[in-house]
């Protein structure tokens, strides 16, 4: 069962990311999507696949260190939610330095780390990448080739990254994450086929 810690994490995540929006566009009218929508979706996915409370809290905060303050945010999360939550978030973080390293270098390192990551990190990562890939596919089906402009890796880099994540997540199977990885593979394949036929 979820406790007051989860509610506290939900409030904290909402506050941290209050001014942040997604790269995707809302289906109804083209407005920006509040970033918290992604955090809620990732938390829902991990809970639906057997997450405990620490994993669900890490899902809500998986981008907090990377996008909202680096080390000071890490220390705050540690004091509020404990070392295990921080360890999961650390495994989901591809860079926290500003300016961030080059996109390709950063993503290659992150992909390489996933195969060695804990089961908890792989569960949150699989949920994160699945929700992101679904959003990328939805935007591609709606906006076509113009949708790639929102991504630093462009068309080729984005397609490479999601396929590489599928393969990395399969290197060290995680029973709870396996249905998420299978769905991620299906979504990425659909995106690849749609892009190839453009």
Phi, psi angle pair for 25, to nearest 5°: -120, 140
* Residue 193 CA from chain centroid, whole number: 22
Q: Is 66 a catalytic site residue?
A: yes
Radius of gyration of the chain (CA): 16
Phi, psi angle pair for 22, to nearest 5°: -80, 160
Residues 6+ apart with CB under 8 A from 117: 91, 125, 172
DSSP state of 174: -
In the set 54, 55, 63, 66, the catalytic residue is 66
Of 100, 95, 97, 60, nearest in space to 77 by CA: 60
Whether the link from the prior residue into 46 is cis, omega within 30° of 0, is no
Q: Is 67 a catalytic site residue?
A: yes
Residue 151, CA distances (Å) to 30, 106, 162, 187, 194 in order = 17, 14, 12, 18, 17
21 strand-pairing partners: 34
Annotated catalytic residues are: 66-67
């Amino acid at each position: 069962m979820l406790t007051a810690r989860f509610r506290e994490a939900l409030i904290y995540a909402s506050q941290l990311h209050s001014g942040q929006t997604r790269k995707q566009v809302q289906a109804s009218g083209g407005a920006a999507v509040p970033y918290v929508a992604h955090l809620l979706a990732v938390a829902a996915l991990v809970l639906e696949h057997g997450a405990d409370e620490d994993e669900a809290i890490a899902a809500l905060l998986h981008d907090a260190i990377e996008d909202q303050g680096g080390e000071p945010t890490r220390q705050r999360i540690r004091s509020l939610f404990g070392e295990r939550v921080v360890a999961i978030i650390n495994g989901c973080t591809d860079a926290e330095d500003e300016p961030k390293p080059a996109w390709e270098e950063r993503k290659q390192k992150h992909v390489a780390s996933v195969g060695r990551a804990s089961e908890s990190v792989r569960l949150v990562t699989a949920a994160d990448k699945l929700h992101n890939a679904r959003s990328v596919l939805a935007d591609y089906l709606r906006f076509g080739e113009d949708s790639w402009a929102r991504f630093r890796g462009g068309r080729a880099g984005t397609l490479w990254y999601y396929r590489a994540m599928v393969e990395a997540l399969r290197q060290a199977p995680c029973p709870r994450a396996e249905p998420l990885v299978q769905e991620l593979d299906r979504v990425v394949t659909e995106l690849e086929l749609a892009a190839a036929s453009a």
